[in-house]
C-alpha cells in the first residue's frame, strides 16, 4: 500500500513544486516591501485613486504568501507521515487523508493563480434572463439563479438581490444580484453566455423532452478606483412601483428605478430597496459595471484577441448544456469539460467549469477537456 501511495503522491508533489515556483515567495516579499514603503507615505491616504490599488495589491500578496506557507506546511505533514510509514508505523489512513487534502488545496490554489486580470478580484453582478419558451425557460432561469446563489453560499460569499421579477406561472422573468467576495468576478467571468437545459418537462402532461435556454451576464462591480465617465444628459431615469416578492412597501410607492444609458442602450433596474434613492444608487453602480464591461468588450473586438469566449452573447452561442434526460451530464462546449453529477452542478458545484475556463483563458483559448459535443446531440 505504501508503494501505491508514493506513486499517487508523485503528481501531487510535482504540482506543489510548480505552484511554489510560480508564486516565487522571495519575489513576492520584495514586492510587498515596496508597497509597504509607498503606503508609509502619509500624503498617499488623501488620494484614494492611488491608495486603494496599493491596498488591494498588499492584500493579494499577503494572501499568496499565506498560501505558499500553507503549502509548505501541508507538504511537511505528508513527508512526516511517509517517514513514519517507512518505519513501520500504521499511519497509511492518516497519510492518505493528508495527501487528499493537499491535492485539493493545491488545485484550489492553482485556480486562484489563474485570476490575474485587472477586475478578477472584484465582486460580481450577475443577471439571468430566460429565453424563448415561456414557463419552461422561466423555470430554467430560476434554476440557474439558484445554482449561482448556492455557489456563492458554498464559497462563503454574500449574495444580495438587486432586481427580481417573478414568472407568470413559475420561475422568473429576470433576476440581477450581486455576489460579494474576493475574486467573485474572476471566478464567474466565464459564466456569461447561453445555458441550455434538456429534460422531461414537469409542465408537459405528455412527459415529453424539452430544451430550454436562459442567458447569464456577469460584470464586475466597479469601485471608485476605476473611473467611468457617465454624463447625466446621456441617462434616462424612470421610476415605477415595485412588483414581485416583498413587504407592505411593495406596490405602494414609485420606489423602483430603471436607468437607460442612451448611447449604448444598456438598461439597468433596481427595485429591492424601500427608498427610491437607494434603488437609484444601486442601479448606478450596476450601470457603471455594465459600461466598464461594454468598453472592455469593444477593445477586445477591435484588437481581435481571443481573451475569452464572451464576445458573442446570443441564443446561438450556448456555452454549456445540462442534460437530465435521456442521460445525465453537464458539459461546457468551449472548454470541453464535462461532469456527470449534473444535480451536484445545479446545486452550486461549479469548480470544474470555473477551473476549465480559466485554464483555457490562460492557454489562449485552447480547451482543456476532451469530450465530444456529439454526445449531447
User: Which pLDDT does position 315 carry in this prediction?
Assistant: 52
| Tally of CB atoms within 10 A around 233 | 6
Give the pairing type, strands 193-200 and 318-323: parallel
Q: Choose among 370, 373, 359: nearest CA to 111.
A: 359
What region, left, alpha or beta, does residue 156 occupy, with left being phi > 0 and alpha being psi -120 to 50 degrees? Answer: left
Give the pairing type, strands 124-130 and 209-220: antiparallel
pTM: 0.69
| Tally of CB atoms within 10 A around 366 | 11
DSSP sequence for 156-207: T-EEEEEEEEE-SSSSEEEEEEEEESTTHHHHHGGG-EEEEEEEE-TT-TT-
DSSP state of 261: E
114-120-124 Cα angle (round to 5): 130
243-245-248 Cα angle (round to 5): 80
| Distance (Å, whole) CA 43 – CA 345 | 49
Class of domain 124-221+308-376: alpha beta
- For the domain made up of 232-303, give the CATH fold: Double Stranded RNA Binding Domain (3.30.160)
- pLDDT digits (tens), the chain, 377 positions: 788 999 999 999 999 999 999 899 999 999 999 999 999 998 888 887 788 888 888 988 998 899 999 999 999 999 999 999 999 999 999 999 999 999 989 988 888 888 877 788 889 999 999 998 789 999 999 999 999 999 999 999 999 999 999 988 899 999 999 999 988 999 999 999 999 999 998 888 788 888 999 999 998 887 655 667 788 889 999 988 876 554 444 455 678 999 999 999 999 999 888 888 889 889 998 998 888 888 777 766 654 343 344 334 445 568 999 999 889 999 999 999 999 999 999 999 999 999 999 989 888 888 876 555 544 54
Cis peptide before 326 (omega within 30 of 0): yes
| Distance (Å, whole) CA 164 – CA 173 | 8
| Distance (Å, whole) CA 213 – CA 335 | 19
Residues whose CB is less than 8 angstroms from the CB of residue 94 and which lie 6 or more positions away in sequence, other chains included? 81
| Distance (Å, whole) CA 16 – CA 21 | 9
Model confidence pLDDT, tens digit, residues 282-334? 999 899 888 888 877 776 665 434 334 433 444 556 899 999 988 999 999 99
Q: Where in the chain is the domain with CATH 1.20.58.410?
A: 2-113
Residues whose CB is less than 8 angstroms from the CB of residue 116 and which lie 6 or more positions away in sequence, other chains included? none
- For the domain made up of 2-113, give the CATH fold: Methane Monooxygenase Hydroxylase; Chain G, domain 1 (1.20.58)
- Chain centroid to CA 356: how far? 12
Q: Dig out the grid coordinates for 161 from the structure.
A: 438581490
Q: Where in the chain is the domain with CATH 3.30.70.1660?
A: 124-221+308-376
User: Which pLDDT does position 370 carry in this prediction?
Assistant: 55
Q: Where in the chain is the domain with CATH 3.30.160.20?
A: 232-303
Amino acid at each position: 500500500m505504501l508503494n501505491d501511495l508514493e506513486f499517487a503522491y508523485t503528481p501531487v508533489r510535482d504540482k506543489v513544486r510548480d505552484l511554489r515556483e510560480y508564486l516565487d515567495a522571495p519575489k513576492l516579499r520584495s514586492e510587498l516591501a515596496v508597497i509597504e514603503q509607498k503606503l508609509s507615505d502619509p500624503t498617499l491616504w488623501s488620494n484614494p485613486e492611488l491608495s486603494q490599488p496599493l491596498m488591494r495589491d498588499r492584500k493579494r500578496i499577503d494572501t499568496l504568501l499565506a498560501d505558499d506557507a500553507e503549502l509548505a506546511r501541508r507538504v511537511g505533514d505528508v513527508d512526516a507521515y511517509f517517514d513514519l510509514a517507512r518505519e513501520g508505523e500504521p499511519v497509511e489512513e492518516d497519510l492518505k487523508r493528508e495527501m487528499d487534502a493537499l491535492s485539493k488545496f493545491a488545485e484550489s490554489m492553482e485556480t486562484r493563480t489563474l485570476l490575474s486580470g485587472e477586475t478578477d478580484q472584484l465582486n460580481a453582478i450577475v443577471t439571468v434572463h430566460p429565453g424563448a419558451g415561456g414557463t419552461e425557460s422561466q423555470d430554467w432561469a430560476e434554476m440557474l439563479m439558484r445554482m449561482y446563489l448556492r455557489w456563492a453560499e458554498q464559497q462563503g460569499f454574500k449574495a444580495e438581490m438587486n432586481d427580481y421579477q417573478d414568472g407568470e406561472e413559475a420561475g422568473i422573468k429576470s433576476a440581477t444580484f450581486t455576489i460579494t467576495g474576493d475574486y467573485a468576478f474572476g471566478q464567474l467571468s466565464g459564466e456569461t453566455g447561453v445555458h441550455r437545459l434538456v429534460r422531461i418537462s414537469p409542465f408537459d402532461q405528455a412527459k415529453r423532452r424539452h430544451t430550454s435556454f436562459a442567458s447569464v451576464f456577469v460584470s464586475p462591480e466597479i469601485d471608485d478606483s476605476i473611473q467611468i465617465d457617465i454624463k447625466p444628459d446621456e441617462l434616462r431615469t424612470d421610476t415605477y412601483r415595485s412588483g414581485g416578492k416583498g413587504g407592505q412597501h411593495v406596490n405602494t410607492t414609485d420606489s423602483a428605478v430603471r436607468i437607460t444609458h442612451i448611447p449604448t442602450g444598456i438598461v439597468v433596474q433596481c427595485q429591492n430597496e424601500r427608498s427610491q434613492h437607494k434603488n437609484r444608487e444601486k442601479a448606478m453602480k450596476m450601470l457603471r459595471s455594465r459600461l466598464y464591461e461594454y468598453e472592455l468588450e469593444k477593445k477586445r473586438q477591435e484588437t481581435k484577441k481571443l481573451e475569452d469566449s464572451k464576445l458573442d452573447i446570443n441564443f446561438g452561442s450556448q456555452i454549456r448544456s445540462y442534460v437530465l434526460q435521456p442521460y445525465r451530464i453537464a458539459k461546457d462546449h468551449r472548454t470541453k469539460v464535462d461532469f456527470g453529477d449534473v444535480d451536484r452542478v445545479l446545486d452550486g458545484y461549479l469548480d470544474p467549469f470555473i477551473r476549465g475556463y480559466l485554464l483555457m483563458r490562460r492557454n489562449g483559448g485552447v480547451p482543456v477537456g476532451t469530450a465530444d459535443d456529439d454526445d449531447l446531440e
